[in-house]
A = this chain, B = another copy of it.
Amino acid sequence: MGDMIRDPSPGACATGAEGSRPNQLFLGTFVHSRTKEELEYLHDTAVCVDAAGTIVAVEAGCGSLARAEEVLFPRLGWTRGEVLTHEAKEGEFFFPGFIDTHVHASQYPNVGIFGKSTLLDWLNTYTFPLESSLKDLAKARRVYTACVRRTLAHGTTTSAYYATIDVASTNLLADICLGLGQRAFVGRVCMDREGLCPDFYRDESAEDSLKKTREAAEYVRSIDPRADLVAPILTPRFAPACSGEAMSGLARMQRELDLLVQTHVSENEGEIELVAELFPDSESYTAVYDDHGLLGEKTVLAHAVHLSEKEADTIAERGAKISHCPCSNSSITSGAARVRWLWDKGIDVGLGTDMSGGYSPSILEAARQAALVSRHIAMTLHGDERERAKLTVEEVLYLGTRGGATVVGLGDRIGGFEVGKQWDAQMITLPFVDEDGVAGGDGDSNVDLFGWENWEERVAKWVFNGDDRNTKRVWVKGRLVHQRR
């Protein structure tokens, strides 16, 4: 493992009891996005995290315990021997936790199961039956626990979750996130439109949708009143599943409660046609949300594959955000969302796993696929446009961290290592091949370093061959929430 822990109260980390943690000192190399285009490598550095999980010092040249004790402890008023210390050794580094801006926790058991389907038949064949079954709370507990544990293991420290239409199991998902320590937005799914929504899985009316949404939102607020970790998010499933009345009602609730809103936009061509039929008075799919008051700075739109120029301009004007879900868009043949084009419009973009339209629980996999999908877009372009369309390693990691933080409205709290931000982080280990060609790390890695790689190359190797095995520890708000055995 190569890390050194001096834990005065072993097990305390796992209890989640707020305020019971000691101050913590992290030593070694820290990597995070300086800009979209550039990663910053902070070597020989100390990051100090207080008992509340907030970063209180980031100091270069202090990468040893002795030096940190000498320089930083007096400044912070910390006492030697009472600080929990974690050291990233050679081949290890700290990286911000990943942010999954679009994920259906309720679909987790279906990852990888989609056949040749596309969106609308996929919903009916695979998705609605599973989601509906989670009104069984024992099943919901099992599925949601597995999902949260699995995504934590992949370094996801924040998730924007869709649950189901069921209030009790939505509330349970919030409980589980709080208990396991994952930062989360938890949304009860609103879907009240007859015809598209099946009879066995539909809100009875717009009024029912709103009432149950409020009920779930109030519950989530009750268990974490300051939204330190979990918060409700309004979740109209997508325009074809919602009545105009429900959407207008959610828009009013959004203004009243000042919550995030999440939904889908322009994922699939058949879906877009359906929206045009269902909402003849709206100019476009995007306009449907805008016309119902749902398009604003706190709106997270998943997919945005087939947007028109005008739709993208509207989204940019409203300050709405986009969750790019490359694994999903490729799997169910939705299309390829143009991240460079969205960025050029000034739109903030993050990554989503979109399980189980997307097959993977990992934002690292989403980052990898974002790079590959951008190259499939590039193949359709020429000259400079082709080169520009490609996303770099640095850019896809930005999407998965700072980009995602901005999308879920937490750009001031998470996504990088600065004083005042929360310690939402993962420790990455990349083992070295020995002189005989035998992989290091007890085989617990798919990344092989040979020792001559520079840091940019190490990070590229991690992005393209890394997985949860390289994520040795994960912290949210200073709490250790995952540790590989």
Query: Are A392 and B115 also in contact (CB < 8 A) when A376-B376, A437-B142, A464-B360 are?
Result: yes
**Are B111 and A442 in contact (CB-based, < 8 A)?**
no
- Bound-complex Cα distance A172 to B466 (A): 29
Contact mask A180-213 → B, CB, 8 Å, 1/0? Answer: 0000000000000000000000000000000000
A91 to chain B, nearest CB (A): 15
- Bound-complex Cα distance A362 to B392 (A): 22
Query: Are A461 and B376 also in contact (CB < 8 A) when A450-B142, A485-B442 are?
Result: no
Interfacial residues of chain A within 124-142, with CB under 8 A of chain B in the complex: 138, 141-142
A146: which B residues are within 8 A, CB to CB? 433, 437-439, 448, 450
Interfacial residues of chain A within 456-476, with CB under 8 A of chain B in the complex: 457, 460-465, 467-469
Task: Find A112's partner among B361, B465, B469 (CB 8 Å cutoff).
Answer: B465
Query: Are A443 and B153 also in contact (CB < 8 A) when A111-B461, A333-B375 are?
Result: yes
A353 to chain B, nearest CB (A): 11
Query: Are A460 and B112 also in contact (CB < 8 A) when A331-B372, A372-B331 are?
Result: yes
- Bound-complex Cα distance A392 to B331 (A): 11
A191 to chain B, nearest CB (A): 24
Most chain-B Cβ atoms within 10 A of its Cβ — which of A138, A141, A145? Answer: A145
**Are A378 and B145 in contact (CB-based, < 8 A)?**
no
Q: Does A436 contact B (CB under 8 A)?
A: yes
Q: Does A116 contact B (CB under 8 A)?
A: yes
**Are A460 and B331 in contact (CB-based, < 8 A)?**
no
A448: which B residues are within 8 A, CB to CB? 108-109, 111, 146, 150
**Are A437 and B333 in contact (CB-based, < 8 A)?**
no
Minimum CB distance partner of A147 in chain B? B437
Q: Does A359 contact B (CB under 8 A)?
A: yes
- The count of chain A contact residues (Cβ–Cβ below 8 Å) is 64
Interfacial residues of chain A within 373-388, with CB under 8 A of chain B in the complex: 373, 375-376, 378-379, 386-387
Contact mask A418-446 → B, CB, 8 Å, 1/0? Answer: 00000000000000010111110011001
**Are A443 and B331 in contact (CB-based, < 8 A)?**
no
**Are A392 and B330 in contact (CB-based, < 8 A)?**
no
Q: Does A390 contact B (CB under 8 A)?
A: yes
Q: Does A113 contact B (CB under 8 A)?
A: yes
- Bound-complex Cα distance A113 to B443 (A): 21
- Bound-complex Cα distance A145 to B150 (A): 32
Q: Does A144 contact B (CB under 8 A)?
A: yes
A437: which B residues are within 8 A, CB to CB? 141-146, 149
23 pairs, A vs B, C-beta closer than 8 Å: A111-B461, A113-B460, A144-B437, A145-B437, A145-B438, A146-B439, A149-B437, A149-B439, A150-B439, A150-B448, A153-B443, A330-B372, A331-B464, A333-B378, A333-B379, A335-B379, A336-B379, A359-B464, A373-B376, A376-B376, A442-B485, A443-B484, A467-B467
Write the residues of chain A forming the contact surface with B, with a CB cutoff of 8 angstroms: 108-109, 111-116, 138, 141-146, 149-150, 153, 330-331, 333, 335-336, 359-362, 369, 372-373, 375-376, 378-379, 386-387, 390, 392, 433, 435-439, 442-443, 446-448, 450, 452-453, 457, 460-465, 467-469, 484-485
